[in-house]
């Protein structure tokens, strides 16, 4: 009996640790923000606006540009999370990010992020046009500067994040050699500023833990007032709507041979989309733009209707 008890107490062979070998790769993938890759769909904006989206060359180039921009953005997310690990641990939701939670070591996040930051522009130079590689390199440098210091500079932080969205919208046109119209740039730029400032406003409204907590999670929220951020998103929304309407009315309100004046009709859907998004901004619940659009069915439907009208206008049907 004593021998049997000893055998029962003797530790057996080590049990398999389950999914632990995949913990680091999965953590790196999560840190790269797959949910935010949808933002990179903006690379098709300029080719779609020019009606040059569906050729084989265009689709292959845009697929490459999408992948490279995703890699560049992922590099920035990795380096940003490595730098902000301590601050993220004080945040009610960001504390679950893999780097802040310890799933991805900080040196590993830096190494993988740095590698992607170098590879993305290098691959763009080999596979795309020089302007595409230059814009992607500028994006990486600007976003890394944002991670290091620019996110602590009042107003400049809003401009940098907005410019990142604008670069996404521009790079597809540069890759295919498509001229970018002034209306396209104005509408895209101020539309991006609208969403960025609405997100900052929502963060300021939701963070009710006092100035110390605000400073621990996003330092500049202690310097912005909700009144100022509201002014910015209202101004940006107004300019975006005005620029879009000027583009739509540029043809004089005629159908130009198409069945209906789709350009002019699309103004209604565009304005409705902005007004619907402003509801969430005003409530202080406008977080990530992709989350707002995907969560609200009415906004998604309005967006689909606008895309259909815009496509019909470009195709001149």
Tokens of 38: 């949808």
Residue 207 or 169, more confident? 169
Does the pLDDT at position 122 exceed 60?
yes
Instruction: Tell me the pLDDT band of 69, cut-offs 50, 70 and 90.
Output: very high
Residue 174's contacts (CB-CB under 8 Å, 6 or more residues apart) are 129, 131, 132, 135, 180
Average pLDDT over residues 109-134: 94
Are 136 and 126 within 8 A, CB to CB? no
Residue 91's contacts (CB-CB under 8 Å, 6 or more residues apart) are 216, 217
Instruction: Tell me the pLDDT band of 251, cut-offs 50, 70 and 90.
Output: low
Residue 262 or 217, more confident? 262
Q: Look over the chain and give the mean of its residue pLDDT values, rounded to a whole number.
A: 84
HSE toward the beta carbon, residue 111, CA cutoff 13 A = 5
Does the pLDDT at position 230 exceed 70?
yes
Closest listed residue to residue 76, CA positions, set 146, 26, 128: 146
Does the pLDDT at position 308 exceed 70?
yes
Query: For the whole model, what pTM was predicted?
Result: 0.82
Q: What is the pLDDT of residue 13?
A: 39
**Model confidence pLDDT, tens digit, residues 151-189:** 889 999 999 999 999 999 999 999 998 888 889 899 999
Dihedral of CA atoms 10, 12, 17, 21 in degrees, nearest 10, equals: 110
Rounded distance, CA 183 to CA 187, Å? Answer: 6
Closest listed residue to residue 158, CA positions, set 105, 118, 203, 213: 203
Q: What is the pLDDT of residue 257?
A: 57
CA 223 to chain centre: 24
**Model confidence pLDDT, tens digit, residues 9-41:** 444 434 444 446 678 889 888 999 888 888 888
Does the pLDDT at position 100 exceed 70?
yes
Does the pLDDT at position 150 exceed 80?
yes
Are 198 and 281 within 8 A, CB to CB? yes
CA 216 to chain centre: 23
DSSP-assigned letters across all residues of the chain: -HHHHHHHHS--SPPP-TTGGGHHHHHHHHHT-GGGGGGGGGGGHHHHHTT--SSHHHHHHHHHHHHHHHHHHHHHHHHHHHHTHHHHTTSTTGGGSHHHHTSS-HHHHHHHHHHHHHHHHHHHHHHS-HHHHHHHHHHHHHHHHHHHTGGGSTTHHHHHHHHHHHHHHHHHHHHHTPPPPHHHHHHHHHHHHHHHHHHHHHHHHH--S-HHHHHHH-GGGGTS-HHHHHHHHHHHHHHHHHHHHHHHGGG-S--TTSSS-HHHHHHHHHHHHHHHHHHHHHHT---SHHHHHHH-HHHHHHHHHHHHHHHHHHHT-
Percentage of the chain beyond pLDDT 90 is 46
**Model confidence pLDDT, tens digit, residues 267-287:** 999 999 999 999 999 998 888
Residues comprising the chain, all counted: 317
Does the pLDDT at position 203 exceed 90?
no
Q: Give the end-to-end CA distance of the chain in Å, rounded to a whole number.
A: 90
């Amino acid at each position: 009996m004593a021998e049997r008890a000893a055998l029962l107490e003797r530790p057996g062979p080590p049990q398999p640790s389950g999914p632990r070998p995949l913990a680091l790769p999965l953590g790196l993938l999560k840190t790269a923000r797959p949910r935010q890759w949808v933002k990179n769909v903006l690379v098709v904006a300029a080719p779609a606006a020019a009606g040059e989206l569906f050729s084989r060359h265009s689709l292959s180039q845009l697929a490459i540009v999408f992948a490279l921009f995703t890699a560049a953005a992922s590099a920035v997310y990795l380096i940003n999370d490595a730098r902000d690990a301590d601050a993220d641990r004080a945040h009610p939701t960001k504390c679950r990010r893999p780097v802040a939670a310890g799933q991805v070591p900080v040196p590993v996040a830096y190494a993988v992020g740095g590698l992607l930051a170098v590879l993305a522009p290098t691959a763009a130079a080999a596979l795309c046009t020089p302007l595409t590689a230059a814009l992607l390199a500028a994006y990486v440098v600007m976003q890394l500067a944002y991670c290091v210091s620019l996110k602590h500079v009042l107003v400049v932080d809003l401009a940098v994040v907005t410019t990142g969205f604008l670069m996404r919208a521009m790079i597809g046109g540069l890759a295919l050699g498509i001229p970018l119209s002034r209306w396209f740039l104005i509408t895209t730029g101020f539309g991006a500023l609208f969403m960025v400032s609405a997100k900052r406003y929502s963060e300021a409204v939701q963070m009710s833990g006092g100035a110390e907590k605000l400073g621990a999670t996003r330092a500049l929220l202690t310097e912005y007032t909700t009144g100022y951020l509201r002014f910015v998103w209202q101004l940006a929304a107004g300019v975006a709507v005005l620029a879009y309407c000027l583009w739509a009315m540029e043809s004089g309100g005629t159908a130009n041979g198409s069945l209906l004046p789709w350009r002019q009709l699309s103004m209604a859907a565009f304005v409705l989309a902005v007004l619907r998004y402003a509801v969430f901004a005003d409530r202080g619940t406008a977080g990530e733009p992709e989350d707002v659009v995907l969560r609200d069915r009415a906004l998604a439907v309005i967006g689909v209707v606008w895309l259909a009208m815009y496509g019909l206008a470009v195709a001149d049907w």
